[in-house]
Amino acid sequence: MSASACRYTDNLEESLMTCNQVIALTQQLKVPANPVHFTLLFEKISQTDPEFAAQIEQLIQQNRYTDDAVRPLFLALLKRILHRHLPTEEVGLLIEHVLQQLDQWSLSSADHQQTIEASIDCLKSCDTQDAAIACLNERILPTIEQINLNTQTLRTQLSNSAEIIRKLKQELDEATSLAKTDSLTGIPNRRGFDELVAERIQHANKKQRSFALLLLDLDHFKKINDHFGHLVGDSALRYIARSLHKETKGQDAISRLGGEEFAILLTDIEFNNAMRVAEKIRTHIAAKSLRVKDHDDPLRFTISIGVAMYQFGENADRLFERADKALYMAKRTGRNRTCSEHQL
């Protein structure tokens, strides 16, 4: 079964009803019922992904629902449905092609090297000038010419493969970037975040200006998955990621560490201000909600936050340990609250 089929589970009657509503909405918005608009408006009306539907609704409410505005949303949706980030088969063929060329040249060079070494021994054993010249002309020079020819051939092949090699580099760069990105939310994953933390530590020690680490956990996430389903759960995680992105700026960085746990780095900040930012994030998320299809009550979220300040000279593990203990205290003492390392 295709990914799109798994995404849309309405029966025939329900889907026809949704389609009629989509057509009516395209007329209302004065946009063509082409695949782009039809798909996006189908998503809005069906509420398949509440967070994604909310983005479309926001564009409509702000009178910004245009071809240019919705194109990124459509591309993001296709990526999400198809789960197609990197053409790994094509990359494999590119690698194989280049390696075959190099292997052939390497084997040929090894054979010629042996021939030259044997010819040099032959040359050393020659007792007359004529014998030496004959050895040189018959054995050494042809081998050298063949090596030169093979090298030129390889150079031509690699030159012809220059575009392939450039494309391979681009694909590998994209693969590296994807390896550091959480595919569900589009923000850095733990691997990407570890690199950011290392950079912040280096900056903090050099400038003698500390930073804060906030560890956040979406409260009762398992209940969301159990009650609304994993698709809505995924939507909730994307919603939280988007909310965190709005609440941070500048050199600050956010990440999804895994599951329902997120992290934020607040750069060049003091403890009291870090606590104020954490509380602002917590209260803003608690004040918002998502509408979920077939549910009268909106889906509301709360988060627990642990805050720790970087201490000059320490490693990342020690910083994470203190922030994690603060987060555990926030969850153990009732959730939907912010705790700091000073409360441990």
Does residue 260 have an active-site annotation? yes
- The identity of residue 225, as a single letter, is N
Beta carbons of 323 and 305 less than 8 angstroms apart: no
Q: How far apart are CA 12 and CA 28, in angstroms?
A: 24
270-279 long-range contacts, CB within 8 A, separation 24+: 270/210, 271/212, 271/307, 271/309, 271/340, 271/342, 274/212, 274/214, 274/307, 274/309, 275/307, 275/338, 275/340, 277/212, 277/214, 277/247, 278/214, 278/305, 278/307, 278/338, 279/338
Instruction: Give φ, ψ of 332 to 5 degrees.
Output: -70, -30
Across the strands, what pairs with 256?
A: 262
What percent of the chain is helix, strand and coil (3-state, nearest 5)? 65, 10, 25
- The identity of residue 299, as a single letter, is L
Q: How far apart are CA 113 and CA 22, in angstroms?
A: 73
Q: Which of 43, 51, 260, 341 is labelled catalytic?
A: 260
What's CA 46's distance to the chain center, in Å? 28
Residue recorded with tokens 């733990």: 190
Q: How far apart are CA 224 and CA 299, in angstroms?
A: 9
Catalytic center residues: 260
